[in-house]
Amino acid sequence: MAPDKAQQLGHDLASLATSISEIAEELKAMGNAAHGGNDEAEPKLEDQKPQIHTLEEVRGILADTASAGHREAVQALIHKHGAQRLSDIDPSEFGTLIVEARAIQ
């Protein structure tokens, strides 16, 4: 495996692990609330740091959406964010872009 590919794979796996951890914490908090448990011991979602999304992560999600038959909608999202191509979009908008792309599917 090429060093660049291995580095990218490692980065992607770390990002995935972070996402899984965040989802697990949210599910635990929801379970506590549903059972009347005291969720004061659980960290509040507002107190957690926002997840940082990478260009590669966003590119993968948009590619999946486009290949599912929504190519025009993906292009419209990119244009909506004031860009002609994904790499021109400010990384601070990646989270919003992911939410919008997932809403298409």
**With a threshold of 0.85, does the pTM exceed it?**
no
What are the pLDDT digits (tens) for 64-75? Answer: 999 999 999 999
Of 58, 67, 63, 66, the closest CA to residue 98 belongs to: 58
What are the pLDDT digits (tens) for 1-23? Answer: 787 777 777 767 767 777 787 78
- Give me the helices (H) in the chain, please: 3-34, 55-65, 71-80, 94-104
